[in-house]
Structure 1
């Protein structure tokens, strides 16, 4: 049996093994006990186990005296917007992001509409492990509300960040692959509002994925081959909870997730969002930093994790930020990774420059990133990191979020995963061979 993975922002597990209705109820009861008074927004991605967990979680929150706003199927960034718009005390998103179908999870939001910070999330995690609950009396049981249009506020905020009329005039033909997750409901609506002719794949949120859910090159070969002959200007590929976006250009070339953020950063710079730095995490490609630097804008790197990026963005008054897994974060919309922000702003960049997506991608700084993973127990990591410092003695070493080794023209990050019982090895360099070599050398030390 796999372990239940508990982090400061929530938990993930295999439904029926580690993630059961009992676990879900006790976890949100700890959440309710730790949060200020107020309603809770509850949403889910399209996974087949989502309705069961939604029912259990809403029942658990009602049993703690909390009224619940049931958004049903909605993207993770949409839940963040709803929490703020409805002035809720917090929110719960039921999703396991890119994990395989047997998994599901719970992600927690504070009243500010962002994923819980480490301190708040840590208290809830400790409360869950300690059995902290907030059950109420029979006459204080919470009620359920269902908003008429849970996506409207998010749609409006995204549209406000781009030149809608200019994009409409282009009448772009686009492909949207939501892979039967949560993204199709708002995704089709957004693209049509931008005047696009949309070919939608997997728009129905059934949770029966047409391909492996993580939007990587190897998982999107079928989509890429289809797009190359479709006449579409761009292919937008979402993960199941639609906080990540991968791009495919008009030729059917996988541009990827890292390019999503870099192109959004370029667009932010070109529309004058230069009054503050950008923030990316320690595993994100330097492409975004190099784009920002070309406009005289500083880049800060946070620890890996959306909450850590948001923390630093707020602390540094950042103009823009995000993670290289295809998750731009625009403070004008919310401090949550957002595939819809990515779609609208990439179309806006294409419109402003008059360039095809392939041409925009070719103009990005040339960097090659290589990713690998391995099963290593956590107690072995300190000794492993010391071995790596010795082997890569010519690098500048930074610890705190795993081990990050920095050279003038390359970097290597080795860290434990927040969502799986593995370690991740990520390297970037000016050549693909060099990046792969760094990961291979680190793996050999295992």
Structure 2
């Protein structure tokens, strides 16, 4: 699959060594043969993908700085703070073990936008790769301090009252899904004076649970929070850009609320525009209204949110998948930033997380995904537009149907061959009803559709 952020596929099928090398060489040419910073998650295929990509980069004269196994936000920050011409993360994020990907970053440490992605693909497709002679082949250097640099960058932000957080001595359970966050988050929490209870924090090459940090996959973490009397639990995806939270009673608060907590904190200290995607909870509209600031909504995808944040000089942004983007540190989804914000919010509220959540806007989200073989995106959306022609529609990304008591959205995924259905209602019953309505519409219009859950 080719998307604005890069390429991804099942290793050995769509994502082969040849494809990986070709795209890496094209990206190196796009970067003018300059320095490229790379890093990867913990997948067993990571070494193969890394070596194939290094071959392409070196062949066009790029010098490569390899950060090793590090989170995606660590790579983004390293690129942004360096003189590198770009970066690549070898990670398929929330996709399962058989998938891997190359995520490309521009020199400012953010994903390529749509124009830049087209330029990259043109270099690859039109055979405009600038291979160099043997005497100009690039070389690889290793740098093992990127996680420390990342932690330092977050801790330097003055919004975080470090002495008070450290004095509180939070007890925190962490489920890193045996991914790239195994090093970052436990070390970061220790720097904040927290006692860390580890779950799935060993690098094994395989993921012990579904890699998406959704409530239905976090049973072990919920139990650990209760067993160990933790103040909260934190769950990551394999590249540690998403953060889901468990309260002190062992109950998931929903990944949507990670950004809600962060936004309320930031807008209290640094009021300014809030940016999120069209699929995120309307609780963010309430938070923005209370703070007296505008909210802007974009297509789904980190780069769309980031570009809008730059345009409007946003104070905070992110996505409802647990991705917090705070320009005070860098313009990328970052689980360490989200973690610091949650702890700071609890310090200021002086209460438990379960009590804190009672003060937050209360909506219920539901999500599913549907597999549809051999469909054309434009054909699918046209059929849905017609089917729901009597409803209020938002066509920013896919189709979002807005009702008085909530909304639901049907959107072709950027990262999997599925249609995602998101819904939000006043309670679980209404959210589930919206999900059924969206699912039934797809199944009626496209009989080949089937649940992927």
Which of 270, 275, 280 is 1:273 aligned to?
270
Deviation at 1:385, TM superposition (A): 3.8
Name the counterpart of 1:435. 431
Q: Deviation at 1:376?
A: 2.5
List alignment gaps of at least 5 residues for structure 1.
none
Partner of residue 327, structure 1:
323
Distance 1:18 1:214 in 2: 22
Within-5 A mapping of 1:12-411: 12-161=8-157, 162-270=160-268, 272-274=269-271, 276-377=272-373, 379-411=375-407
TM-score normalised over the length of structure 2: 0.93
| Contact in 1 for aligned 2:173/2:224 (Cα 8 Å) | no
Residue 69 of structure 1 aligns to a residue whose secondary structure is strand
C-alpha distance after superposition, 1:330-386 (max 9, x if no partner) = 001111111111111101111111121112222211111111211235745545444
CA contact (8 A) 2:278 2:396 kept: no
Q: How many residues align?
A: 440
For residue 289 of structure 1, report the CA deviation from its aligned partner: 2.2
* TM-score, with length taken from structure 1: 0.95
Q: Give the whole-Å Cα distance in 2 for the aligned partners of 1:353 and 1:96.
A: 37
Change (3 A) 1:384 1:89: closer
- Rounded to whole Å, the distance in 1 between the matches of 2:289 and 2:327 is 20
1:324–1:372 distance in 2 versus 1, CA, 3 Å: same
The 2-side partners of 1:119 and 1:306 are apart by 15
Q: Distance in 1 between matches of 2:380 and 2:324?
A: 32
Q: Do 1:42 and 1:58's aligned partners in 2 also have CA atoms closer than 8 Å? A: no
CA-CA distance at 1:176 after TM superposition: 1.0
By how many angstroms is 1:398 displaced? 2.5
Three-state SS of the structure 1 residue aligned to 2:354 is helix
Aligned to 2:446: none
Superposed displacement of residue 98, structure 1: 1.0
What SS does the aligned partner of 1:250 have?
A: coil
- For residue 394 of structure 1, report the CA deviation from its aligned partner: 4.9
Larger mean CA deviation between 148-157 and 338-347 belongs to: 148-157
Equivalent position SS for 2:198:
strand
Instruction: Give the RMSD, CA atoms, in angstroms.
Output: 1.6
For the 8 Å contact 2:80–2:107, the answer to whether it is kept is: yes
* Contact residue 45 and residue 205 of structure 1 kept, 8 A: no
2:412 aligns with one of 406, 412, 416? 416
Instruction: Report how far residue 148 of structure 1 moved.
Output: 4.0
Distance in 1 between residues matched to 2:344 and 2:438, nearest whole Å: 40
